[in-house]
Amino acid sequence: MIVIIDYGMGNLGSIKNIVKKAGHKSIISKDSDVISNASKLILPGVGNFKEAMNNLEHLNLIEILNNKVLIEKTPILGICLGMQLMTSFSEEGNVRGLDWIKGKTTKFTFSNQPEIKIPHMGWNEIIPSKSHKINTDFEIPSRFYFVHSYFVTCEDKKDILYETDYKGVFTSAFNKENIYGVQFHPEKSHVFGLQLIKNFIELC
């Protein structure tokens, strides 16, 4: 059972639709019993890091997620803010994250280049940093749709899955064991996003 975690901050319907297009069924839920029975988890997110962590805590989801991800090793995919929540700390609200991936979430700053737009928004290429089965049947480089003002820096470079150049290279996806995070929006990325979702569900 694929569960899309509803903590009040995700474009849940779009995620459910792309999972359906990939040939699979999913459930949108914030119920701990449903989440505890998931075979795959998707943690979407749009909005503020601190508010998102507060929501997860208020819904009593942090403990069940820690158990599923860290103990049971259930595959999980974090999307955009969902990826950032997996890190240790964010400058957005100066708050700790779930700490599944050692690293931090930092705001883009281009003080000497005011013409560079924040948020980073639109289509951009991803370049794989390591060989992984989730890359199956991808064109290289592939293009995905981004909307974000903050980016992730991994402490362990081995965790970096994809990188993207936006006036400087940043981590656009990471992977450690069963934990996957993507900064871009696969649900808005047409054939490339569909392939990634399909690969996560079927290969991971």
Q: Based on DSSP, count helices (H) and strands (E) in the chain, helices before strands.
A: 6, 13
187: annotated active-site residue: yes
Reported as a pLDDT band with limits 50, 70 and 90, residue 68 is very high
58: annotated active-site residue: no
Between residues 125 and 138, the one the model is more confident about: 125
Task: Please pick, among 51, 177, 187, 202, the residue that the annotation labels catalytic.
Answer: 187
Between residues 109 and 157, the one the model is more confident about: 157
Task: Please pick, among 24, 57, 80, 163, the residue that the annotation labels catalytic.
Answer: 80
185: annotated active-site residue: yes
Of 58-67, 126-135, 183-192, the range with the lowest mean pLDDT is: 126-135
Domains of the chain: 2-203 (3.40.50.880)
Task: Please pick, among 92, 148, 154, 185, the residue that the annotation labels catalytic.
Answer: 185
* pLDDT one-digit tens code per residue, 12-39: 999 999 999 999 999 999 999 999 999 9
| pLDDT (0 to 100) of residue 27 | 97
Q: Does this model's pTM top 0.75?
A: yes
